[in-house]
Amino acid sequence: MMNRKSFLAAGLASLVTPFELIQAQQSWPTKSIKFIVPLTPGGSNDLLARLLAEKMQIDFGQTVVVDNKPGAGGNIGTEFVAKQPADGYTILLSANTHVMNVNFFKQLPYDPVKDFQPISMVGLVPFVLTVNAQTPVNNLNEFLSLAKAKGNFSYGTAGIGTPHHLAAEMLKSMTGIEMIHVPYKGAAGIVQALLSNEITCTIGAINSLIPHINSGKLKAIAVASNNRTSLLPDVPSIAEAGPLPGYGLDVWAAVLAPAGTPRVVVDRLNTEIVKIINDPQVIKERLFVAGIEPMTSTPERAMEIIKADLVKYSKIAKMINIKPE
């Protein structure tokens, strides 16, 4: 039998672990955090990273630096984070491309599941089929009819394997229209090309397009999401307008860390990020005005979404006969 002294010692020992965990959680971070965005400045990922960095450094008491590392459909920045120490000081603001790229690149330099520890989902960004205001179409059927008649429509994307690319190829596959793919380095390049009539259309993120839609320089034809968005309530979805049952692409954003990041750090980051994204003032003044719908999750739920989308977009890639390059 355990004597009184050993019993007390065992009891005290059992209290050490949670205390140490709390102490470790409270002491992190002790230095600057680097927030990697694998796309050029100006898009929704960049906006979300800068919003989070601004708020996080106030509460953490450490500098949070946003570092854009674009290229290869997001692979350059994503690979960079995968190879960093798993200490929470380098994190990634990623999107659906994190799982889509498996279907577009033969030799992906990272495993989207095994090499990363999800922190939280942070937002949904509706994508919208958009044309220059001078294009003589006002709805999806007019767009498809003109595309079939002309046969020389071009569409802008942020590169191979991006949501823009997949959304346009889905539309081509389901309607039989032909369009030429014109990749750019990011959202800013796409919008400028559309404004100058360098390209015919894009299925792009609403946050980069809506200021020009509201000004009348661009026209929103249809929403790529499964449902309409409150940001453009009068614009139907592609599935609804076609009608094209089964068409739908929702683009999420998430914060990820290198695999093996300590749970206390993951939980600290998750708590802070969820608090920021769910702040009513942030939602009203920063997210909605930028075309971003708030979305948060536990690390476990974020991993479930990532794994489910791996399966979903693999099926879509096969459906539209896209082969890795």
Closest of 157, 159, 319 to residue 246, by C-alpha = 319
For residues 87 and 222, membership in a common domain is answered with no
- What local confidence, expressed as pLDDT, does residue 103 receive? 87
- The counts of H helices and E strands in the chain are 12, 11
H helix intervals, 61-186: 75-82, 97-100, 140-150, 163-175
Do 179 and 232 lie in one domain? The reply is yes
Same domain, 276 and 141: no
- How does strand 127-132 pair with strand 116-125? unpaired
The pLDDT score that the predictor gives to residue 132 is 96
Examine residue 2 and state whether it is found in any structural domain, yes or no.
no
- The answer to whether residue 12 sits within a structural domain is no
Reported confidence tier of residue 23, pLDDT bands at 50, 70, 90: low
Instruction: Report the distance separating Cα 287 and Cα 289, nearest Å.
Output: 6
> Do the domain assignments include residue 49?
yes
Q: Scan for tokens 């984070």, then name that residue.
A: 81
Handedness of CA 157, 162, 167, 169 (dihedral sign): positive
- Same domain as 303, residue 217: no
Closest CA to 290 of 35, 45, 37: 45
Residues 53-110: tens digit of each pLDDT: 999 999 999 999 999 999 888 899 999 999 999 999 999 999 888 998 888 888 899 9
Same domain membership, residue 275 and residue 219: no
- The count of other CB atoms within 10 Å of the CB of residue 182 is 16
Q: Distance between CA atoms of 262 and 29, rounded to whole angstroms?
A: 12
Q: Which of 95-99, 134-138, 183-187 has the lowest mean pLDDT?
A: 183-187
- State the DSSP H helix or E strand holding residue 65, giving kind and residue range, or none if neither: strand 64-68
Same domain, 133 and 102: no
Judge if 118 and 93 occupy the same domain. Answer: yes
User: Which residues, in sequence order, are CB contacts of 246 under 8 Å at separation 6+?
Assistant: 174, 239
Q: Are residues 196 and 279 in the same domain?
A: no
List phi, psi (to 5°) of 66. -90, 125
20 has a pLDDT exceeding 70: no
Predicted model pTM = 0.76
Last-in-domain residue among 223, 241, 259: 241
Residue 296 gets the label, from left (phi > 0), alpha (psi -120 to 50) or beta, of: beta
Q: Is it the case that residue 271 has pLDDT exceeding 70?
A: yes
Contact between residue 65 and residue 82 where contact means Cβ atoms under 8 Å apart: no
pLDDT-based confidence at 26, cuts 50/70/90? low
- Cross-strand pairs, 118: 256
Residues 227, 269 within the same domain: no
Q: Which residues span the domain enclosing 178?
A: 127-241
**Amino acid code (one letter) for 30:** T
Contact indicator for 325, 106 with CB cutoff of 8 Å = yes
| Calpha distance 24→32 (Å, rounded) | 17
Is position 291 within any domain? yes
Q: What is the mean pLDDT of the chain?
A: 89
Check residue 7 and give its pLDDT. 45
The CATH number of the domain where 43 resides is what? 3.40.190.150
**Same domain assignment for residues 255 and 119:** yes
pLDDT on residue 12:
43
Where a domain ends, among 241, 272, 290?
Answer: 241
Is the residue at 19 inside a domain? no
In a domain, 166, yes or no: yes
- Counting the structural domains of the chain, the total is 2
**Residue where a domain stops, chosen among 222, 241, 260:** 241
For 293-303, write each residue's pLDDT tens digit.
Answer: 899 999 999 99
Residues 97 and 136 in one domain: no
Residue 108 lies in a domain: yes
Q: Length of the chain in residues, anyone?
A: 325
Q: Where are the alpha helices (DSSP H) in the chain?
A: 4-27, 44-60, 75-82, 97-100, 140-150, 163-175, 187-195, 206-215, 238-241, 263-277, 280-282, 299-319
Residue 3 has pLDDT above 60, yes or no: no
For residue 302, give both structure tokens: 């974020």
1 within domain boundaries: no
Mean pLDDT across the stretch 190-196?
A: 95
Q: Residue 16: what pLDDT?
A: 41
CATH of the domain at 163: 3.40.190.10
Q: Is it true that the peptide bond before 118 is cis, omega within 30 degrees of 0?
A: no
Centre a 10 Å sphere on the Cβ of residue 240 and count the other Cβ atoms it contains.
17
Q: Same structural domain for residues 151 and 80? A: no
Residue whose tokens read 């030429």: 180
